[in-house]
Chain A
Amino acid sequence: MTRILKSILFATTVLAPAGLVATGASAQTANLTIESWRNDDLPIWQQKIIPAFEAKNPGIKVTFAPMAPTEYNSAVNAKLEAGTAGDLITCRPFDLSLAMFQKGQLASLNDLPGISNFSDVGKSAWSTDDGKTTFCVPMASVIHGFIYNKKAFADAGVQVPKTEDEFFAVLEKFKKDGKYIPLAMGTKDQWEAATMGYYNIGPNYWKGEDGRKALIAGKEKLTDADWVEPYKTLAKWKPYLGDGFEAQTYPDSQNLFTLGRAAIYPAGSWEIAPFKAQADFEMGAFPPPVKKAGDTCYISDHNDIGIGLNAKGKNLEAAKKFLSWVASPEFADLYANAAPGFFSLNSTPVKMTDTLAQEFVSWRQNCKPTIRPSAAIVGRGQPNLDLEMWRVSANVINGTQTPEQAAAETQKGLDSWYKPAK
């Protein structure tokens, strides 16, 4: 709350007069608006990224207009249909943006200068199924894992867990000591249970890309042991969550951790910047623990955010200029360091200064990356698999559904519309 308030105050007091001066200076400014769901990043865009672009491109003025993440897709779709959307559209990965491109709302970016700075894997989330057309410039991926309070670990005298048994032993220790809440997570907002829970620990069970592709090919089902077991592990988290976790919201969990009341936070790397700004203790991170020591580890390294061109925008030329700047190594460096935890997909390696972000990205060396299972291809239909997984993951942790029931329900929903290619 205070962060948002501060940024609003900052925007109104410092930036507004600056904007007035700028508009007064040049009459022929092209105004670009970026539609985004990253309202946490508003200060980063306003203070670092946009000034860097505007300094090099006089005559183009950029406004970053974020909204609440859960409302973003519906709102931006309504705006696109009504023709009132901004020139630049932040792209969700895979099926959602693909649908926008197929409707002709996003323009093809195949001939954008700079798009060749990305590998096919980087572009995969924003390309057509045949991989021929790319419609968003990849900006960043996010990695899942656990962030922990180093002071709490030192107090309790525990080591960073590597296997699942060690993980639960650490949780048990914290629970016995009673000084810290072992795990800061709630189920009220539902998406935490899936995104920070199921998608986070799951890849170790379904073996990352192998399982995900087998699911798409129809060779595996969500009711198979590999897909049910992560729910069983999630169900075991319940005793280690804080009192009343059923009514604990996402901001509650963030605050519990940054106020130093919880030891471990099941996280996505996007938390790094806000946590760094709020917590006054040292933080470390560890990847999802494997079942037995020596097992291959898998991490969720999810292409999360890209930026595309509104095909019916008013300032196509200026918007293209901005996009090719986003595709440049300069932007990659700026963004990865301004928003640590959003890892660049640019082929040029980026030097990151943030140690916590380095820790997250170091897992790429030993662990096999995969994306969230509900994002691509199986996330296209009704009922939406992602939303179904939110709901059942929360149910499993709340104890109102068994892991088997949860898995059966999601598979039933998937069966109702998805016919894997034979």
Chain B
Amino acid sequence: MSDTEMADIETVPVKRPIRWHIAVFLAPAFLVYTAVMILPLIETLRLSLFNMVEGQLAFVGLNNFRTLFSDPRLSADFWNALGNNVVFFIIHMAVQNPVGIAIAAMLSLPGLRFAAFYRSAIFVPTLLSFVIVGFIWKLILSPIWGIAPSLMDLVGLKWAFAPWLGKAETALIAVSLISVWQYVGIPMMLIYAALLNIPDEVLEAAECDGITGWSQFWKIKLPLILPSIGIVSVLTFVGNFNAFDLIYTVQGALAGPNGSTDILGTLLYRTFFGFQNQMGDRSMGATIAAVMFLIILAGVALYLFVIQRRMRRYQF
């Protein structure tokens, strides 16, 4: 004991005062975050290991998970929701992020007029409540009162209109695109910021070497904004597998037609809280929530440990 103390004193000759202010400044955020995020998360994970046995909440181990994956009805619902969720994510990755990057690239072109206006206009939907977005799009696409059929009629495209939100084949794509429309501002802003960060010297040097226009974008800018694209992808992944609100406002909790827009969030809602005549089942709901958490955790871990480490960074 005394030896180590002696050693400490020798290696750290001047004892620094304990920096209490760090703890004090961290405390509010830490306490609030613990109370509203960490504790509920732990409680949810705990509840997924319990179920009602003869009217009493009892520890059942992994039985809930076994039921979720083996019960023919529940597992069919779950795989359907997971499949739809993957499609939902793919559409965001294939449409939202490329479009966001393209808009950001155009906005960052020197000499573009009204750039500030475009930037705000494209970002505004992101700030709107999902209730408003869901409601306007439901109205726009309504075959009865909607503006979409008449607008398409004006340009002679009436034949191409269909009640997209009501057809099992198109509903999921339609809802995904509404979500893309709403959130395209986020990749745009992040990529735009990354593009502005590229020093002019680099671009000027490229121009001296004769790399301009498209090849400049592909060879110089894109590699430099790859880390931002990675962040955007992770945000999209987490957002999409947690999604619920837009589907709920546009398609209702049943996520029809015939479950074609049912994603994990809506399945969780119906299972946990119940719907119409179906009673809520807290334990199974918590189980689905736990599986969602694991899926998101796995996705983020894959990014952090596999993809991000291989990404090359440049310093100027």
A residues sitting closer than 8 Å to B (CB atoms) are 69-71, 73-75, 77-78, 92, 95-96, 99, 186-191, 242-248, 252, 256, 374, 379, 382-384, 386-387, 390-391, 394-395, 398, 400-401, 413, 416
Given contacts A187-B257, A188-B256, A391-B259, contact A242 B144 (CB under 8 A): yes
Give A191 to B273 CA distance when docked, in angstroms.
19
B163 pairs with A247, CB closer than 8 A: yes
B278 pairs with A384, CB closer than 8 A: yes
* Set of chain B residues within 8 Å of A379, measured between Cβ atoms: 277
Given contacts A70-B252, A70-B276, A379-B277, contact A394 B72 (CB under 8 A): no
A247 pairs with B259, CB closer than 8 A: no
Give A383 to B71 CA distance when docked, in angstroms.
11
B144 pairs with A416, CB closer than 8 A: no
B258 pairs with A400, CB closer than 8 A: yes
Give A92 to B274 CA distance when docked, in angstroms.
15
Closest to A69 in B: B276
Given contacts A243-B143, A244-B163, A246-B166, contact A387 B276 (CB under 8 A): yes
CB distance from A386 to the nearest CB of B (A): 5
- A-B pairs with beta carbons under 8 Å apart, 21 shown: A69-B276, A70-B276, A73-B277, A74-B273, A77-B280, A78-B280, A96-B277, A188-B166, A188-B257, A189-B256, A191-B276, A244-B143, A247-B163, A248-B166, A252-B142, A256-B144, A386-B277, A387-B277, A398-B258, A400-B258, A401-B258
* Set of chain A residues within 8 Å of B142, measured between Cβ atoms: 244, 247-248, 252
CB distance from B253 to the nearest CB of A (A): 7
Q: In residues 131-145 of chain B, which contact A (Cβ within 8 Å)?
A: 141-145
Would you call the interface of chain A mostly helix, strand, loop, or mixed? Answer: helix
Give A252 to B279 CA distance when docked, in angstroms.
28
Give A252 to B254 CA distance when docked, in angstroms.
18
Given contacts A74-B274, A74-B280, contact A252 B166 (CB under 8 A): no
* Set of chain A residues within 8 Å of B258, measured between Cβ atoms: 391, 394-395, 398, 400-401
Closest to A37 in B: B276
Give A201 to B280 CA distance when docked, in angstroms.
31
Closest to B74 in A: A382
* Set of chain A residues within 8 Å of B73, measured between Cβ atoms: 382-383, 413, 416
CB distance from A28 to the nearest CB of B (A): 37
CB distance from B57 to the nearest CB of A (A): 12
Size range of the chain B interface in the assembly = 20 to 34
B residues sitting closer than 8 Å to A (CB atoms) are 72-73, 141-145, 149, 162-168, 252-254, 256-259, 273-280
Give A189 to B162 CA distance when docked, in angstroms.
17
Give A269 to B166 CA distance when docked, in angstroms.
27
Question: Per a CB cutoff under 8 Å, which of B72, B145, B166, B280 touches A187?
Answer: B166
B257 pairs with A398, CB closer than 8 A: yes
A188 pairs with B165, CB closer than 8 A: yes
Known A190-B257, A244-B166, A394-B256; further 19 A-B contacts with Cβ < 8 A:
A71-B275, A96-B279, A187-B166, A190-B254, A242-B143, A242-B144, A246-B165, A246-B167, A247-B165, A248-B144, A379-B277, A382-B278, A383-B73, A386-B276, A387-B277, A391-B254, A395-B258, A400-B258, A416-B73
Give A74 to B278 CA distance when docked, in angstroms.
8
* Set of chain B residues within 8 Å of A92, measured between Cβ atoms: 277
Closest to B276 in A: A70
Closest to B260 in A: A400
Given contacts A246-B166, A248-B143, contact A391 B280 (CB under 8 A): no
Give A371 to B167 CA distance when docked, in angstroms.
31
* Set of chain B residues within 8 Å of A186, measured between Cβ atoms: 166
Give A42 to B10 CA distance when docked, in angstroms.
79
Closest to A387 in B: B278
* Set of chain B residues within 8 Å of A188, measured between Cβ atoms: 165-166, 256-257
Given contacts A246-B167, A247-B163, contact A391 B277 (CB under 8 A): no
Centre residue among B163, B276, B280 by max chain A CB count within 10 A: B276
Given contacts A78-B280, A244-B143, contact A73 B166 (CB under 8 A): no
* Set of chain B residues within 8 Å of A386, measured between Cβ atoms: 276-277
Centre residue among A74, A187, A382, A384 by max chain B CB count within 10 A: A74
Question: Per a CB cutoff under 8 Å, which of A75, A246, A384, A395 touches B277?
Answer: A384
* Set of chain A residues within 8 Å of B279, measured between Cβ atoms: 73-74, 77, 96, 99
A394 pairs with B144, CB closer than 8 A: no
A394 pairs with B252, CB closer than 8 A: no
* Set of chain B residues within 8 Å of A256, measured between Cβ atoms: 144
Closest to B278 in A: A384
Give A191 to B259 CA distance when docked, in angstroms.
14
* Set of chain A residues within 8 Å of B277, measured between Cβ atoms: 73, 92, 95-96, 374, 379, 384, 386-387
Question: Per a CB cutoff under 8 Å, which of B162, B167, B274 touches A77?
Answer: B274
Given contacts A188-B256, A252-B142, A394-B258, contact A247 B278 (CB under 8 A): no
Closest to B73 in A: A383
A189 pairs with B276, CB closer than 8 A: no
Give A28 to B256 CA distance when docked, in angstroms.
50
Given contacts A73-B277, A382-B278, A413-B73, contact A246 B163 (CB under 8 A): yes
Closest to A75 in B: B273
CB distance from B256 to the nearest CB of A (A): 5
